[in-house]
Amino acid sequence: MTEQTGIGRWITGFEEIAEISRSGEPLHSDAEIDGWLEERKRNQQVEIRMISLEECAPWYYDGDEGTIRNTQGSFFRIGGVETEDPDGTVLAQPMILQPEIGYLGIVCRKIRGVWHFLMQAKTEPGNINYVQISPTIQATKSNFTRRHGGKEPPYLELFLKMRREDILVDQIQSEQSSRFLGKRNRNVIIRTEEEIPELPSHRWMTLSQIRECMKRDNLVNMDTRTVLSCIPYVFMMDSVSGYVPEFARSMRAIRHEDMTEIYLRMNNYKMFRAPAVRRVPLLSLRDWVMDGNRFRHREDYPFEVVFCGLNIEGREVNRWNQPLFAARGEAVFGLICRERGGRWEVLVSIKPEPGCFDAAELGPSVQEEYGTAGRRDSVGGAFFRALERRENVLVDVVLSEEGGRFYHEQNRNVIVRAEDVPHDPEKYVWVTLGSLNAMTQINNCLNIQLRNLLMLFSIHSSRMTEEKDI
């Protein structure tokens, strides 16, 4: 058979990636993966001290800019942001300012006839359990251009030289828009036929193994979840058999009415109701004060800013200081689903957030930060009643946010099944999994909370039949 190149090889690539979810003998057993993770934790020396801003050199408050920054101007800044709704309501809070686009990249390869992903046991200063399963590479532009003076991240060259025909996913997607102002990362999965050696920090894992790990609290990090959520299942289902029937039928169902309804609601919001966003000096934020070793709200808020002295062996830089955003409690991200005609649909929301790159994105049914339970609408009320009664709860797992900027932030991710939920049609839309997966192939449509929940939906789908994998 003649070797295919160009578009022919690209199409074949999508047919081949459909096999990624199939079961098979992994290179490393589950017990070996657990042993590797435990060894990385045992051998990882981590020291974190809470310090004051004055002790957090080279970080300081720049009165001219009105931001907390470091002397090199690299990494990120923390500035003040105010949003004002058309009705005059003003929200004021600190936000992370990091406009550069970083890599969240995973390499995959067929080993012994089974697709494997090269995953990293990465330590981040804010991780609640220090070591979590991360992408092959997880690096800001400051990291891989070595502006911090550290070592080049391993496997970087695979992404710098990637070819079109080897790309399975290449999407620029948002991060947490409640904390970052317009921050996006490049989510990438590339295939390779090269024999790539495993470093002690990396192991080849199957998608089935990663999903099994995702059932355990705080083990698979946010960056892994967002990259894998971008796998274009919607392009695979017509030519591939063996998938869970409900999942496959749902992915084939890309409805024009879903798209038009979503864009109608989204664009109406952006055109007529989007708030004005303005940068302000951090220390001028109303009701925010510097209190000892933290910058906090006078009353109550989902997060505060803390300052940390860090010592972590094995990273590009071993010892440094930096600020982190610390959650003050656990958030809940929830997805309500239903079955219609043998296809799964989920209830999504038009979700504006102060840091959205374009005012609003699609979010989950429920996105409730700590301390905001008093703002529940009819959808939130129905969701939490079902959760309290444990009625049709399909997925319930605690997972961490990204530990490079957030300190000990873990959130409860829940999927419940509910047929009839009263909702505001201007804010909520029922949509098929196929339509959402198609929209994931477009930059900045689905927020990171929704993308992570859609990745978790595959865990539920695998429980619907005796097959282990989607």
User: How far from the centroid of its chain's Cα atoms is residue 360's Cα?
Assistant: 16
Domain of residue 371, CATH code: 3.90.79.40
Rounded to whole angstroms, how far apart are CA atoms 177 and 81? 12
Query: What values do phi and psi take at 255, rounded to 5?
Result: -100, 130
DSSP for 8-37 reads: HHHHHHHHHHGGGGS----SS-HHHHHHHH
pLDDT tens for residues 108-162?
A: 999 998 999 999 999 999 999 889 999 999 988 776 666 655 678 899 999 999 9
Which spans in 215-341 are helix H?
A: 222-228, 245-252, 256-268
Look at residue 246 in the predicted model and tell me its pLDDT.
67
User: Whose structure tokens read 């959520």?
Assistant: 229
Backbone angles phi, psi at 298, to 5 degrees: -65, -30
Is 60 inside a domain boundary? no
Residues 409 and 422: their CA atoms lie apart, in Å, by: 31
Tokens linked to 415: 């999927």
User: Could you tell me the two tokens for 269?
Assistant: 């919001």
Does residue 446 fall inside a structural domain?
A: yes
Q: 46-81, pLDDT tens digit by residue?
A: 899 999 999 999 999 999 999 999 998 888 999 999
Which amino acid appears at position 22 of this protein?
Answer: R
Helix (H, G, I), strand (E, B) or coil at 160: helix
pLDDT per residue as tens digits for the range 221-244: 999 999 999 999 888 765 444 455
The answer to whether residue 409 sits within a structural domain is: yes
DSSP state of 239: G
Residue 262, domain member (yes or no) = yes
**Residue 71 belongs to a domain:** no
Average pLDDT score, the chain? 89
Q: Is the pLDDT of residue 27 over 70?
A: yes
How many Å apart are CA 35 and CA 163, to the nearest integer?
Answer: 35
Identify whether 390 is part of a domain: yes
3-state secondary structure of 238: helix
- Quote the pLDDT of residue 341: 86
Establish if 43 belongs to a structural domain. Answer: no
Q: Structural domain of residue 409, as residue ranges? A: 245-274+329-462
The pLDDT of residue 140 is: 80
- In this predicted structure, what is the pLDDT of residue 224? 97
Assess if residue 165 is contained within a domain. no
> How many domains does the chain contain in total?
1
Cα–Cα distance for residue pair 238/220, rounded to 1 Å? 30
- Going by C-alpha positions, the residue among 125, 161, 211, 212 that lies closest to residue 402 is 125
SS3 content of the chain, % helix, strand, coil (to 5): 30, 35, 35
Neighbour-count burial for 154-181, b at 16+ CB within 10 Å, e otherwise: ebbebbeebeebbebbbbebbbbbbbbb
Task: State mean pLDDT over 246-251.
Answer: 73
